Chains A and B, each alone.
Chain A
Amino acid sequence: MNRQIAKLTIVFMTIFLILFSQLNLTQLIRANEYKSNPSNTRSISMTFTEPRGLMRTVDGEVIAETISTPGDLKRLRQYPFGNLYAHITGFISFEYGASGLERHYNSHLSGTEIGVRVQNASDLFLNRNRTANLELTLRHDVQLVARAALGTRSGAVVAINPKDGAILALWSNPSYDPNNFSSHDLNRVDNFRDDLLSDNQNPIRSKAYQESYPPGPIFSIITASAGLSSNILAKDRPIYPQVGYYVAPQTRSPITNVGGKTCGGVISEMLEESCNTGFAQMAISLGPTILVEQAEAFGFNSELAIGLPDITESFIHQPEFYEPNLSLLAQSGIGEGGVSATPLQMASVASAIANDGIFFSPRIINKITTNDGEVLKNYQPQILGRPITKSVSEELKAILLKSVERGTGQSVQTEGVKVGAKIGIVRVKNSTATHNWVIAFAPVTNPEVAVAVFVEEGGSEGVYTQGTDAGPIARAVIEASLRLPTSTVNEP
């Protein structure tokens, strides 16, 4: 019998070894997979009984707070401005976890972060509710104007302070009211979530930083930057031929200009007219490496870590891809051919050009403070790089200023301040509709704000009205940012 029992011991050792292996698999090897599983709301635990820090804008408006309520459930998370900050604060829900800042800064807000929990030695022994508050870079007045200016149109508005990367406004329409997620009424939460998920406009995602779109003609600023930086292009040379179409190498289908016009000339004239044929040629003569490097220096193909989770990268193909696909390179020169950008990305481009080529990392958090107002963490402006030199920046600024004063950008013109802007219209595939873009900055000499406006399917190709659609939105946001008297925005 002892022999059998010895064998049994081996059997049990094997069984426990298998258990141990599975334990390793669950706790170490697959742990991250499980942690990021969508049905795992564990990392963000919300209770209706515990305190949670608040969020406020840089001008002092509270945009997320936990209030006390009578009854069994002692507390309720509230978002006083409804849908205005939904894509920034995100929501926190009993069943569905959290998103946005509620998720990204959960440990600070809930006070589980050790620096928040233990602020002095007595915290080790006393049971205090320590939570931290977030101060955002957003300005409530600018955010309100952004929402009002975009109105019912679907799209996004981003405003950045070029001198330190502080995001002043980050609005995307349609939005949703996060109060519906934090509600005590869990049935209401379920229904609300179902409605949101079945909405094909996808209000739960921000078009400002979670969705990307072909940037179209406004991308030609990047093509121009690459050209001006690489000496194949100067203010007055080369003079591109006046043509109506351009056939890139390796293809037979021509690139045409919007409306079938002919255009060409020097760089300022081409930017002015959104001259597709000229920029397509420029992209080909630059070659893929220079163009892609320039775009990446502006932030393409990397995540702009503004302090929010789930940020979509803007995309341009790698140079190796373009070598056998030069026709796509030509298209990429005018912001098509697979190039896609978030409005946040294009605002960053405007910001870097405005700030003498110094690219400050855009950010949404100013500081984290304790309830007593003591600063736990101060977020300093960070320089991401220098995508262009000061002289290239000066040349581009001069061109874009001229565009507003005399050219297609007139709808952005703002009284009493010099604005630089570039307007762009992108044909939507298989549709007569167009996406309308504007990037702008002001004042030109000493920029305080850089703006990107994106209006999804905001125009139609038949009605070729350059910038009347998105231009006034940009103007309104600039006026608000600079605290100028605001003009009215005409909605179509």
Chain B
Amino acid sequence: MPRQRVIELTLLFLVSLIICSLYALSAHGNRSSIPANILPFLLIILALLAIGHAAIHFLVPTADGILFPIAGLLNGIGYVFIVRLDSGLASNQAIWTAIAMSAFVLTIFCVRNALSLKRHKILFGFIGLSLLLLPLLPYIDSGSGKTKLWVQLGEFSIQPAELAKVLLPIFFASYLIENRELLTLGGKGFSTFTLPEIRHIRPLGIGSLISLLILIVYQDPGFSLIFFFISTVLLWVATDRLIYLGFGTLFYTVGALACFSIFDSLQDKISVWLDPWDNTADAGYQILQSTFALASGGLTGTGPGIGSPQRIPEAETDFIFAVLGEELGLMGATAILISYLLIVGLGYRIAIRAHTAFETLLAAGLTTAIGAQAAIVIAGVLRLSPLTELQIPFMAYGPSSLVSNYIIIGILLRISQSTPPIDPHYSSITNGTRSV
């Protein structure tokens, strides 16, 4: 067995131990007994992790061994807290996890080489954009009381934008790799202040425009920010020209400010963020309950199952992090922060070690997506930023964020599986500083 797989198996064993103990503690704290009817679902989660591991073992045997266990840990902890909030959600979340795990296995099975993704960049770009704009179609039901971000499917809600989060970085990365030299070298003027020609700024404009479009369509800053991050960061990583970063940010900020001044629903989000105390019973209720939950957690938390997180409305989708902060305390919440930071670090390490520039860029883009999403959600819960409709990766209830983020993990693992570059043209573009 490759060394990475041994590490993975050991970590997965520890992860299962953590999840099971947490589950037992939480169930016992909540109702002083361990409800037998939910136990099978927990075993399903653990079995799914085992299937994921088996798939990795056969399909990408030398891929990174830490990424998957961390995703599994977050997934499992999220599951325990969702069940703790409402045991009726247990079976659904188990199904979502099964779907997400299938998507994961399918990803590493179908994507035999990450470079092959580049061939379909137009298709991915098109599907990604369509998914983003899907909610605009008049006969799409976004569910009662929900923003356009959601699409109601039967009794469940999904966020199509989550999948676009996976597809669009593929498009961005392909485009940037093809036009990298033009973007880097083009332009007139002094050496440090060379301005790229107008036509080369187009991709930048497209990235920011799409981001602003999302802001307008969804009336929610969450995905808009993520796409802005991905497009701008990738442009900068590909070209190393800060001027893109500066222009992009300027353009996006001006556009976003304009949107905020036009749309009331966006203004409401900002005013609730700035002063939730103004309306504690209504608009500020949810975020303040989250703050109170965190405050009551303290350093070590109330203990799993013993807090009162049901006071936070929609805790299982929007505020699972606050629930965790209440019951596991600052220590537990910090562990979660570290887990996300580890995913980011591992993702970027995979990017740096990738054999081709495209893979580097793609890995960086996808990693940025997960990292930015986690940071935006947690910042919202902590009242560092306005609340968004984003869901915390791997932990929130529902299929959307689980599926897309497991696909990302799949692609990252595929990239980290050291395959020799098959296309000499692309390997020549890598900047040569990679370490293996």
Contact = CB atoms under 8 A, between A and B. Distances in A.
Contacts of B383: 22, 26
A45 B311 contact: yes
Contacts of A20: 334, 337
Interface stretch (B199-207, B218-226, B325-333, B394-402): B325-333
Given A9-B348, A42-B296, A16 B308 contact: no
Contacts of B364: 1, 5, 8
B360 A1 contact: yes
B356 to A, nearest CB: 11
A39 B280 contact: yes
Interface stretch (B53-61, B146-154, B258-266, B374-382): B374-382
A24 interface: yes
Interface in A371-400: none
B341 A12 contact: yes
B333 A23 contact: yes
B233 interface: yes
B104 interface: no
Contacts of A3: 240, 433
Contacts of B33: 125-127
Nearest to A26: B294
A40 B375 contact: no
Interface string B289-314: 10111111111000000001001000
Contacts of B236: 4
Interface string B323-364: 001000110011001001100110010011000010011001
Interface string A1-40: 1111110110011011011101110111011111101011
A22 B371 CA distance: 17
Main secondary structure of the interface of A (DSSP, over half): helix
Contacts of B375: 12, 15-16, 19
Interface residues of B, number: 53
B311 A24 contact: no
Given A12-B371, A19-B337, A19-B384, A34 B238 contact: no
Contact of B31 (A31, A39, A43, A127): A127
Contacts, number: 126
B431 A2 contact: yes
Interface in B228-246: 233, 236-238, 240
B32 interface: yes
Contacts of B431: 1-2
Given A8-B364, A15-B375, A35-B292, A1 B238 contact: yes
B415 interface: no
Contacts of B105: none
Given A8-B368, A27-B325, A42 B237 contact: no
Contacts of B340: 16
Q: Max chain A CB contacts within 10 Å: which of B292, B298, B333, B352?
A: B292
A219 to B, nearest CB: 41
Interface of B: 31-33, 233, 236-238, 240, 277, 280-281, 288-289, 291-299, 308, 311, 325, 329-330, 333-334, 337, 340-341, 344-345, 348, 351-352, 357, 360-361, 364, 368, 371, 375, 378-379, 382-384, 430-431, 433-434
Q: Which 7 pairs show the lowest CB-CB distances between chains A and B? A: A34-B295, A39-B280, A127-B32, A31-B295, A4-B237, A27-B330, A22-B382
15 contacts: A2-B431, A4-B236, A4-B240, A6-B352, A9-B345, A12-B345, A16-B337, A24-B330, A34-B294, A40-B288, A42-B293, A42-B311, A45-B311, A125-B32, A126-B33
